[in-house]
Amino acid sequence: MGITRLLQASCTLAILAILFSLTACESGDDNTATVELTSPDGSLKLYLSLGGLSSRLSYSLFKDGELIVDTSYLGITDDDWGGLEDGFELIDASSYKGNVSYDLPWGEVASVDAGYEEGKLLVRHPYSEAKFSVIACVFDDGIGIRYHFPEQEGDKTRLEVLDEDTRIFLPGNPLVNWGPGDWNSYENPTELSLHSEIDATKYDNREELISRVVPHNAIMTPATVRLENGVHLTFHEAALIDYPGMTLEVLDNLGFKSKLVDSHRRKAKAICDLPFYTPWRTIQVEDRAVDLLDNMLILNLSPPSEIEDISWFEPMTYAGVWWEMFLGVGTWDYEGGQNVDNFLGVDRGANRHAANTENAKRYIDFCAENNIGGLLIEGWNTGWEDWLDPEQRAEVFDFVTSYPDYDIEEVVRYAHEKGVQIVMHHETSASVPQYEKQQDEAFALMQNLGIHVVKSGYVGNIIPEGEYHHGQYMVNHYRNSFQKAAEYQVAVNPHEPIKPTGERRTFPNAISAEGARGMEYASSGRRDDVNQPQHLAHLVYTRCLAGPFDYTPGIFQLDISDFRGSDARVGTTLGLQLGAYVVVMAPIQMVADLPEHYKLEDGSYHPAMSYIRNMATNWDDTYPLAGELGKYAVVARKVRGEDRFFVGGISGDEDQETTLSLDFLPEGETYTLTIYRDGPDAHYWDNPTDLVIESREVTSADELSVLMKASGGFGAIIE
Ligand code: NOJ
Ligand code: CA
């Protein structure tokens, strides 16, 4: 039990003051030192320490005088040096106050300005002669901790990291919103459970197309906990550069320990040239769970933008021939053999290739009529017949050869004439060397055609064998892809990606990513198999806190029994499909359903299309309004550069009634609010499209009461 945990029982500010008053950046000659770091508003205090019987490095964290992270050890294991865990000698302790300020070309806010205090302990490990620092940084709403390895004496020029031992000890047994720490896929269900009840290894499943590799009882990040005192902490990382992704192993004595994703092609999990900074291990801290939605810590700790001009990318909604494939209406391949029906054993016959010129033009007309900015066309290039064939998938795709029924130049010409952007698709079948050698040619084709967005995909286990989606090799590939794409004015939306860790600050062309179960997991229509009612309310407090998410909302035909057999449903209400556009932040948001599904029987558009037509995907500001961990979230956002606002809410597995203050509106102005909310009889399975649309005048003094049904929600425009 750490000293701070003992203190917790009788913790008073007075005791703490005595204990720590003398220790700010103090070091004695007995190899003890504590750097005390305080957030600008004084609420957070972090103590970075060297000491104890075995001279270990540790930190602890307090909020408003209360312990929120108990004494937690820090360490790392290198192949040559062995475990750098204890017996350290102090070289130097220091701290300073700083400020970070930047503009965002797109995102949840227009600009950020935040103060922090940063400190470090530089130590020597006498047995190995390793020299390194632990660096900590404290903002008002969270902290980051990382290791820095400067150039070493002798001939050591690179780290060979076997694992990292960064711990997070928590007071009590918190509620945790978590998904399994899978080395290969983030497309697993998530859970809300007590820390003591986490069982992640049950998700290990090597039989899947992308095998689920959960070798330890570890969770993915972001994960959010609610401590017994009500404070919420989100664990994640920032500036994940040239290093494996981190999972968090569950410790029996309540807390977590970093566990890096492996590579089976070599002994070390990370090989890094010196000097080297590891990624930041981040803890975002908020009283209310929903305040995590505009917590900018991850970006604050990320390197500044390397792309000066991103004006060629416009935030937008986009449609796609995509959902056709998931309903079994269309196919990716020309011959018509490759579609989701294969997995169901259904054969609907050939000649249903969705990416043909005529179909593309039909979708372009639909986009133009409804102010939808882009159109994604998957299955346009050759290779799909064999993309899952183990013998062929290493070399199956090229990214420049169209199928014979798809005239790419004509489609792009027609789209541009109608003011619609084409979104390119690069499915790589996870064959990374094959993609890397073609990226220049593929991006150059896009630039020549005036196509500025690509959705990429990495279905299957990674080629070369022995690498995982979340290991160092792939972290580098995804990051290099952002950099290379930017040279060709291309923005990237990877599916089967590495989780976002702030890349968008450095590369604003990292516009979105999958990395969770999106709407495709609803397409089977089977009640026990689709995304469960709590799904999106969990993602809001886990995956979405990493950065933009390509959730692919906008399904209007939620009864899919015509395509998937009787009683097949998507499993949400229409209200949730609309609310998701506001709650889930991304500068490109899909309008995912088939064009005909947005129409009523008489051929007119569904009245809720007015919401889609007016939808914004870029914001000046974000106002978290209400929510509960894993249960629901309601947020308002101001449209970038306009006097318009959206409010959106989504719920989990229970009905939620909430009353919201509209005091985020400018005072004294009168606006028209139009709400699209779950109707009184809405039910995510039995009656998913019951929707009420109503308008009224509002001012900042008003309140809005809304009932969201389970797996439901609402969207509102205020203008
Ligand atoms: C999986 C992606 O998540 C999905 O959106 C895409 O259509 C298929 N792979 C094919 O690339
Ligand atoms: Ca996927």
Among this protein's residues, is 520 annotated catalytic?
A: yes
Instruction: Determine whether the shortest distance from the Cβ of 333 to ligand 1 is under 6 A.
Output: no
Q: What is the pLDDT of residue 19?
A: 39
Picking from 300-304, 331-335, 418-422, 474-478, which range would have the lowest pLDDT averaged per residue? 331-335
Q: 114: part of which helix (H) or strand (E)?
A: strand 111-125
Total Cβ atoms within 10 A of residue 702: 16
Instruction: Determine whether the shortest distance from the Cβ of 457 to ligand 1 is under 6 A.
Output: yes
Q: What is the pLDDT of residue 328?
A: 87
Ligand with minimal distance to 185 CA? 2
The 3-state DSSP class for residue 699 equals: coil
Q: What is the pLDDT of residue 6?
A: 34
Residue 437 CA to ligand 1 centre (angstroms): 22
Structure tokens at 55: 């001279």
| Cβ-proximal residues to 426 (8 Å cutoff; 6+ apart), any chain | 397, 399, 435, 442, 454, 455, 456, 457
Atom of ligand 1 nearest to the CA of 425: 11
Q: Which conformational region is residue 260 in: left (phi greater than 0), alpha (psi within -120 to 50 degrees), or beta?
A: beta
Structure tokens at 490: 């291309």
Residue 457 CA to ligand 1 centre (angstroms): 6
CA atoms within 13 A on the CB side of 478: 37
pLDDT in tens, 376-389: 999 999 999 999 99
**Cα–Cα–Cα angle for 585, 500, 213, rounded to 5 degrees:** 120
Instruction: Determine whether the shortest distance from the Cβ of 632 to ligand 1 is under 6 A.
Output: no
3 vs 461, residue with greater confidence: 461
Atom of ligand 1 nearest to the CA of 457: 11
Residue 686 CA to ligand 1 centre (angstroms): 28
Atom of ligand 1 nearest to the CA of 496: 3
The stretch 667-681 carries a mean pLDDT of 98
* Parallel/antiparallel/unpaired status of strands 167-169 and 223-226: unpaired
The stretch 61-80 carries a mean pLDDT of 98
Which residues partner with 137 through β-bridges? 118, 144
Separation of alpha carbons 200 and 518, rounded Å:
20
pLDDT in tens, 478-497: 999 999 999 999 999 999 99
pTM of the model: 0.95
Mutation to probe ligand 1, out of 323, 520, 588 (largest number of atoms < 8 A from CB): 520
Q: Which residue in 153, 520, 628, 642 is the catalytic one?
A: 520
Total Cβ atoms within 10 A of residue 693: 13
pLDDT in tens, 186-240: 999 999 999 999 999 999 999 988 999 999 999 999 999 999 999 999 999 999 9
| Cβ-proximal residues to 502 (8 Å cutoff; 6+ apart), any chain | 238, 239, 240, 298, 299, 301, 302, 547
Instruction: Determine whether the shortest distance from the Cβ of 690 to ligand 1 is under 6 A.
Output: no
* Residue 124 buriedness (CB in 10 A; 0-12 / 13-18 / 19+): middle
Residue 353 CA to ligand 2 centre (angstroms): 20
Give percent of the chain with pLDDT exceeding 90: 91
Instruction: Determine whether the shortest distance from the Cβ of 514 to ligand 1 is under 6 A.
Output: yes
Separation of alpha carbons 434 and 498, rounded Å:
19
Tell whether the model's pLDDT for residue 26 goes beyond 90: no
Mutation to probe ligand 1, out of 378, 381, 425, 555 (largest number of atoms < 8 A from CB): 378
- Is residue 27 very low, low, confident or very high in pLDDT (cuts 50, 70, 90)? low
Atom of ligand 1 nearest to the CA of 325: 7
Amino acid in the structure at residue 656: Q
Phi, psi at residue 386, to the nearest 5°?
A: -120, 20
